[in-house]
A and B are shown apart, each in its own frame.
Chain A
C-alpha cells in the first residue's frame, strides 16, 4: 500500500531524512515512533503529497507522491499534527466541505458524512461551531475529516497529543476500529498507544530508521535485560560467588539492603545461557535463602530509549 524507497529530505542544510525505506502492506497499522525532530512528520508530509522529497521515491496505493500527487491525495486521509480546522465553520458544514473537495459525489455525501459522524461519535455536536468544541471533540472532527471519503490509507500525525487520559482512550479505540478497514500510519509519543493499537512499529531517529518490526521482534532484538534477586546471606560471599559464575562483563550491583535481605541486580547483557537457573542453584547450594528472582521485562519503552538515546549520548561524548 505504501512504499518508501531511500527517501531523503533536506530543509536547507539540515538533513531531516537520510534515505529511509520501508513498506506498509494493506491492512497494517503502523506506529511511527521517534523523538521530536526525528523525521516522523516530514515522512508523513511527503506521503500525503504536501512536501516534495529531496531524493528517493515514495508511493501510496501505487501512485508516486511527486508525479501523481493528486491520485495519492485521493487515496489518503490525513490528520496533521495539531489538528488544523476552520474554527468558524459548523462541524457538519466542514465535513461537507471536506467530502466535497475530496470528490465524494453529491448523492453519496450525506451517507458518507453520517458514517464519519457515527464512527467518530460526533452526533451531539454536528450543529456546533468547531471553535466551541473541546479539544477531544476537535480531534475527532479532524479524524472524521480524514475518513469521510473512505480512503484506503490513513495518515495520522500524533492523533492523541494534548488530550486528557479519557479522550486518549476514546481516540485510541476509534483508531483501533479504523484499523480494521484502513491501512493506518500513525505517529505518537505514547508507547502504550503503539503497544495497544499497532501491528508494527517503526522507530526513527535523526532521520534514519533504527528499528522496524512487530513489538515482540523489537523487544527480542534487544539484549536480554537484567535479573533482580533478593537473597538472605553474607553480601561479600554472595557477590564473590556471583562474579565467579557470570561472565566478566556482567555488571552486578546491590540495589537495596533491608536488614539481612539484599537485593541484587545482575545485568545479564548478551549472556545466552540460562543464567537465572544457574544463579538460583548457586544460592541454594550455599545454603542461603533465595527470596525473590525476577527477570526484568524489556518493554518497548526500553527499546525506544536504547535506540534513540544511545546514539545521542555517544555523539555527545565523542
Chain B
C-alpha cells in the first residue's frame, strides 16, 4: 500500500509540475462547458445538467488519449521505466499508483464542471440526485477509458502511436454503446448480437448509472473492465522484463 501511495503521489505531482494538467484541464473544460452551456442556459428551459453529462463521454473520448498516451510510453522512452522497475515495488503497485493518480487528476477536472449545475441551481430549482449520480457515472466511465488508454501506452515507446490506438479503440467502445447507433444497427443485425456488442461498451453502463439507478451489476462491470485492462497493462510491463 505504501508503495502504491508513493507512486501515486509522484505521478499526481508530475501532472501539476508540467503544463499538461493545466492545458488539458482548461481546454477540455472550456469545450465541455461551452457546448453544455450553449444548449442548457436557454431562456425558459428546464434546469437540468443533463446536457453536460451527455457531452462528457464524447469530449473525453477525444481528449483522454492526449493525456494517457504519455503514461508509460514517455517513461519507456526516457528510460525512467527501467529505473522504476528496479525499485522494490511490484508491477501491480506501479500500475495501480499510476492509474489512481490519473483518475484523481481527472476527478479534479470533473469537479471543476460543478460550476454549471451550481449556476443552474442559482436560477431555478435543481434536482441534485441525477446530478450526483451523473458525477459518479462520469468517474467510473473516465476510469474505464483511462485504463484502456494506459494499456495502449504500455505497448509502445511512441506516444503518437499510443494516442492513435487509444483514440480508435475508445471511439469504437463509445459508439457501440451509443443508443442511436445501437438502434440503427438493430435494423440489419440480429438484436441479441447488437445487445451483446453494446454490452461491452462502458458508455452503456455510464448511461445506466447516470440515470440514478444504482445497480450493482453496473459497478461490477466497471470493476471488471478496469481490472481487465490494468491486468493486461501489468502483463505487458512484465513482458518487458522478458524481452528487454
A binds B: yes
Tell whether A34 is near chain B: CB-to-CB under 8 Å.
no
CA distance A74 to B86 in the complex (A): 9
Chain B residue nearest to A66 (CB atoms) is: B241
Whether the pair A103, B241 counts as a contact (CB closer than 8 A) is no
Tell whether B129 is near chain A: CB-to-CB under 8 Å.
no
Q: Which of B215-244 contact A (CB under 8 A)?
A: 241-244
Q: What mask results when residues 1 to 38 of chain A are scored 1 for a CB within 8 Å of chain B, else 0?
A: 00000000101000000000000000000000000000
Which of under 10, 10 to 19, 20 to 34, or 35 or more describes the interface residues of B? 20 to 34
Q: Which of A71, A78, A101 is within 8 Å of B7, CB to CB?
A: A101
Whether the pair A84, B88 counts as a contact (CB closer than 8 A) is no
Residues from chain B with Cβ under 8 Å of A88 in the complex: 14, 17-18
Residues from chain A with Cβ under 8 Å of B13 in the complex: 89, 93
Residues from chain B with Cβ under 8 Å of A224 in the complex: none
Tell whether B79 is near chain A: CB-to-CB under 8 Å.
yes
Residues from chain B with Cβ under 8 Å of A76 in the complex: 86
Whether the pair A50, B80 counts as a contact (CB closer than 8 A) is no
Residues from chain A with Cβ under 8 Å of B241 in the complex: 50-52
Tell whether A200 is near chain B: CB-to-CB under 8 Å.
no
Whether the pair B80, A86 counts as a contact (CB closer than 8 A) is yes
Q: Give, as a whole number of angstroms, the nearest-CB distance from B124 to chain A.
A: 45
Residues from chain B with Cβ under 8 Å of A48 in the complex: 86
Tell whether A73 is near chain B: CB-to-CB under 8 Å.
yes
CA distance A74 to B87 in the complex (A): 7
Residues from chain A with Cβ under 8 Å of B196 in the complex: none
Whether the pair A82, B79 counts as a contact (CB closer than 8 A) is yes
Whether the pair B6, A49 counts as a contact (CB closer than 8 A) is no
Interface on chain B toward A: helix, strand, loop, or mixed SS?
helix
Q: Give, as a whole number of angstroms, the nearest-CB distance from B73 to chain A.
A: 14
Q: Which of B9, B18, B78 is within 8 Å of A84, CB to CB?
A: B78
Q: What mask results when residues 1 to 35 of chain B are scored 1 for a CB within 8 Å of chain A, else 0?
A: 01100110110011001100000000000000000
Number of A-B contacts (CB under 8 A): 69
Whether the pair A101, B85 counts as a contact (CB closer than 8 A) is no
CA distance A97 to B9 in the complex (A): 9
Q: Which of B3, B14, B85 is within 8 Å of A50, CB to CB?
A: B85
Tell whether A100 is near chain B: CB-to-CB under 8 Å.
yes
Whether the pair A101, B83 counts as a contact (CB closer than 8 A) is no
Whether the pair B80, A101 counts as a contact (CB closer than 8 A) is no
Tell whether A42 is near chain B: CB-to-CB under 8 Å.
yes
Whether the pair A73, B86 counts as a contact (CB closer than 8 A) is yes
Tell whether B46 is near chain A: CB-to-CB under 8 Å.
no
Residues from chain B with Cβ under 8 Å of A136 in the complex: none
Query: Number of residues in A with C-beta < 8 Å to the partner?
Result: 31
Q: What mask results when residues 71 to 106 of chain B are scored 1 for a CB within 8 Å of chain A, else 0?
A: 000000011101101111110000000000000000
Whether the pair A89, B17 counts as a contact (CB closer than 8 A) is yes
Tell whether A70 is near chain B: CB-to-CB under 8 Å.
yes
Chain A residue nearest to B15 (CB atoms) is: A88
Whether the pair B14, A101 counts as a contact (CB closer than 8 A) is no
Whether the pair B6, A78 counts as a contact (CB closer than 8 A) is no
Residues from chain A with Cβ under 8 Å of B14 in the complex: 86, 88-89
Whether the pair A102, B78 counts as a contact (CB closer than 8 A) is no
Tell whether A85 is near chain B: CB-to-CB under 8 Å.
yes
Residues from chain B with Cβ under 8 Å of A89 in the complex: 10, 13-14, 17
Q: Which of B80, B83, B86, B88 has the most CB of A within 10 A?
A: B86
CA distance A86 to B14 in the complex (A): 9
Residues from chain B with Cβ under 8 Å of A228 in the complex: none
Residues from chain B with Cβ under 8 Å of A233 in the complex: none
Tell whether A80 is near chain B: CB-to-CB under 8 Å.
yes
CA distance A101 to B241 in the complex (A): 20
Whether the pair B244, A42 counts as a contact (CB closer than 8 A) is yes
Q: Give, as a whole number of angstroms, the nearest-CB distance from B157 to chain A.
A: 13
Residues from chain B with Cβ under 8 Å of A74 in the complex: 88
CA distance A102 to B6 in the complex (A): 10
Chain B residue nearest to A155 (CB atoms) is: B86
Whether the pair B83, A45 counts as a contact (CB closer than 8 A) is no
- Since A50-B85, A93-B13 are in contact, a sample of 18 more A-B pairs with Cβ atoms closer than 8 Å, ordered by chain A residue number, is A9-B244, A11-B243, A11-B244, A42-B244, A50-B86, A52-B241, A73-B87, A73-B88, A74-B88, A76-B86, A78-B83, A80-B79, A84-B79, A86-B14, A89-B10, A97-B10, A101-B88, A102-B88
Interface residues of chain A, those whose CB is within 8 Å of chain B, are 9, 11, 42, 45, 48-52, 70-71, 73-74, 76, 78, 80-82, 84-86, 88-89, 93, 97-98, 100-103, 145
What are 19 sample pairs from A and B whose C-beta atoms fall under 8 A apart?
A9-B244, A11-B243, A42-B244, A50-B86, A50-B241, A52-B242, A71-B88, A74-B88, A80-B82, A81-B79, A84-B80, A86-B10, A86-B80, A89-B17, A101-B3, A101-B88, A101-B89, A102-B88, A145-B83
Closest 4 CB pairs of A and B: A84-B79, A73-B88, A88-B17, A48-B86
